[in-house]
Amino acid sequence: MLINRKEIQIEWGHCDPFGIVFFPRYFEYFDACTNALFHRALGLPKAEMLRRFQIAGIPLVQASANFFAPSSFGDVVSVESCVTQWGKSSFSVQHRLLRGQTLAVEGFEKRVWTVRPGGDPSKAVSQAIPPEVIDKFS
């Protein structure tokens, strides 16, 4: 199983008035970490991945997080991300945000491999994930 690690510097603007990361920011981090995971696995930045596989994207259809310890301005955290399950057209990603050795946040995403039928920009439908993509994560 491919695990990607990404370091994130907690910035002032990520924090709430109490000086800790405002919870929606974690979902921004996780989105960036999913992109980094795919970039590492496929060797393609997201824009190139979309062109190469002729997809509309990998939109988020479900997200959740468990919060165990706060992170604050100036902290450097590490996020470990991996695909935990592949479906026909969907996949699940787990993110573990660590502050040092402490698990601070655990996030979960479900995403869908989508295309625009007939090039219609107002519609997106799921499509089977190519086996060559899944193989890159082994």
Report, as residue numbers or ranges, the catalytic residues.
16
Q: Using CA atoms of 88, 83, 6, 61 in order, give the dihedral in degrees to the nearest 10.
A: 50
Burial label for 81, CB within 10 Å (0-12, 13-18, 19+), is: buried
DSSP, res 19 = S
Which residues face 90 on adjacent strands? 112
The beta strand positions in 2-137, using DSSP E, are: 4-9, 60-67, 76-86, 90-99, 102-112, 114-115, 125-126
